[in-house]
Amino acid sequence: MGAAAITGSGVHTPPDLITNDELVRAFNAYADLFNARNAEAIEAGTLRRKGHSSSDFIVTASGIHQRHVVTRDGILDPEIMHPVLPPRDPAQPSLMAEMALKACAEALAQAGREGHEVDLVICAASNHERAYPAIAVEIQQLIGAGGFAFDMNVACSSATFAIQAAADMIRAGTARCAVLVNPEICSAHTEWRDRDCHFIFGDVCTATVIEPVQAAKGGAFRILSTRCNTQFSNNIRNENGYLRRAHGRMEDRRDMQFMQEGRRVFKEVLPMVSQHIADHLAAGGIAPGDLKRLWLHQANKSMNDFIGRKVMGRVPSPDEQPNVLSDYANTSSAGSIIAFAHHSADMAPGDRGLICSFGAGYSVGSVLLERERSRSG
């Protein structure tokens, strides 16, 4: 078969919102409680005193001003400091599937497709709320899709890796219409009691529709090429796996949430990503100046500014390298897709852009796109 294309995209943004000021008040109240309850150990030097956070610190460190979450309940309570969600009956849709339905509806509408036309569903996210049955198979049933479905986890690179997998299957003829969903409930694996990372993440769900380019009904984005790369590192890690019971360590440990060695990640990931993009463009015979837009993983403004300068050889304009981090925070695999969905409608036929995501693994994935002319039918 011929080339594959992104024919639709959608974003579901949870209505609950937490500003930096709200988050800081809750964290500082927790820090004061911790210090008061552990005063003797802190005085003896066996426990470290927890310092306060500030909105200025958060903006300077990350560029984040707010984040959306599936619920505020519990997160801002100094005695809890994590989301509190009611249990769901197995007969009800899972939370991830419920989020996915809303993003899928938007993406399918943009593509001019119905759920029954879909024959591949991939749920690609940095965490899944259960091991099995696959969330993707549940979504497949809920939208009335045929074919097959599976879950995928490549941390923050999950969306771009899923696009490559779907595009390859479209080109091979094993699928005709794919829906990729990225339901990211990052608030549930954030350690809200850690000053270094309590502000980083937010929740969202994105979706994209991938089809043969000749089947596109609107101004699709032809997938010119994709590239994925991984390199093992422990510098971003989460130990909350099913074997924890086998080790007799079921307590809520710090390493069961998101952990990173931030300075090492910055030092090692940025050259890896910058070179990855340069190699991808060179392989396609495309100069950086030929790109209309860079839709980067929304992890940290300083990281993206560095990558943009390295790739473009200059400071990209906000139009060339859109930033949604300020409003959404780091939404893991969904971040680059939010940037694409919100900042692609103005691109003219022939304009080219690159989606790139990167994160734990280490992993980096990129998708080179070209805007197609609108088609009728």
Whole domain around residue 363: which residue ranges? 221-371
In sign, the C-alpha dihedral spanning 234, 239, 244, 249 is: positive
d(CA 160, CA 356) in angstroms, rounded, equals 7
Nearest to 171 by CA among 134, 130, 120: 120
* Mean pLDDT to the nearest integer, 304-322: 94
Looking at this protein, which amino acid is placed at residue 69?
Answer: V
* pLDDT (0 to 100) of residue 217: 85
Whether residue 150 is contained in a domain is answered as: no
Kindly report the average pLDDT of the chain as a whole number.
93
pLDDT at residue 375 tops 80: no
Whether residue 295 is contained in a domain is answered as: yes
338-351 pLDDT per residue, tens:
999 999 999 999 99
Whether residue 173 is contained in a domain is answered as: no
Whether the Cβ atoms of residue 49 and residue 42 lie closer than 8 Å to each other: yes
Whether residue 193 is contained in a domain is answered as: no
Whether the Cβ atoms of residue 55 and residue 21 lie closer than 8 Å to each other: yes
* Mean pLDDT to the nearest integer, 34-62: 96
Whether residue 258 is contained in a domain is answered as: yes
Neighbours of 221 (CB within 10 A): 28
- List helix spans (H) across the chain: 20-37, 39-44, 55-62, 95-111, 135-143, 158-172, 262-283, 301-312, 325-328, 335-342
Confidence (pTM): 0.93
Whether residue 366 is contained in a domain is answered as: yes
What residues are annotated to the active site? Answer: 156
Q: pLDDT band for position 180 (50/70/90)? A: very high
Q: What is the DSSP string of 86-118?
A: ----TTSPPHHHHHHHHHHHHHHHHHT--GGG-
* pLDDT (0 to 100) of residue 236: 76
pLDDT at residue 285 tops 50: yes
d(CA 158, CA 363) in angstroms, rounded, equals 9
CATH number where 313 lies: 3.40.47.10
Looking at this protein, which amino acid is placed at residue 4?
Answer: A
Whether the Cβ atoms of residue 120 and residue 104 lie closer than 8 Å to each other: no
* Helices (H) then strands (E): counts for the chain: 10, 13
Number of domains the chain is built from: 1
* Mean pLDDT to the nearest integer, 225-254: 76
pLDDT at residue 48 tops 90: yes
> Which residues are registered as beta bridge partners of 366?
227, 356
71-81 pLDDT per residue, tens:
999 999 999 99
83-98 pLDDT per residue, tens:
999 999 999 999 999 9
pLDDT at residue 246 tops 90: no
Whole-Å CA distances, 176 to 2, 111, 209, 215, 237: 11, 13, 10, 9, 36
- Helices 55-62, 20-37: inter-axial angle, 10-degree rounding: 120
d(CA 183, CA 187) in angstroms, rounded, equals 12
* pLDDT (0 to 100) of residue 377: 46
* pLDDT (0 to 100) of residue 254: 63
How many Cα atoms within 13 Å fall on the side-chain side of residue 254?
8
pLDDT at residue 259 tops 90: no
Find tokens 């300077």 and name the residue. 60
Whether residue 172 is contained in a domain is answered as: no
Whether residue 282 is contained in a domain is answered as: yes
d(CA 75, CA 344) in angstroms, rounded, equals 34
Q: Is the bond preceding residue 328 a cis peptide, omega within 30 degrees? A: no
136-148 pLDDT per residue, tens:
999 999 999 999 9
pLDDT at residue 189 tops 60: yes
d(CA 257, CA 196) in angstroms, rounded, equals 13
pLDDT at residue 256 tops 80: no
The 10 Å CB-count burial string (b at 16+, else e) for 83-102 is beeeeeeeeebbbbbbbbbb
Which has more confidence, 60 or 263? 60
102-131 pLDDT per residue, tens:
999 999 999 999 999 999 999 999 999 998
- CA geometry: angle 219, 184, 57, nearest 5 deg: 105
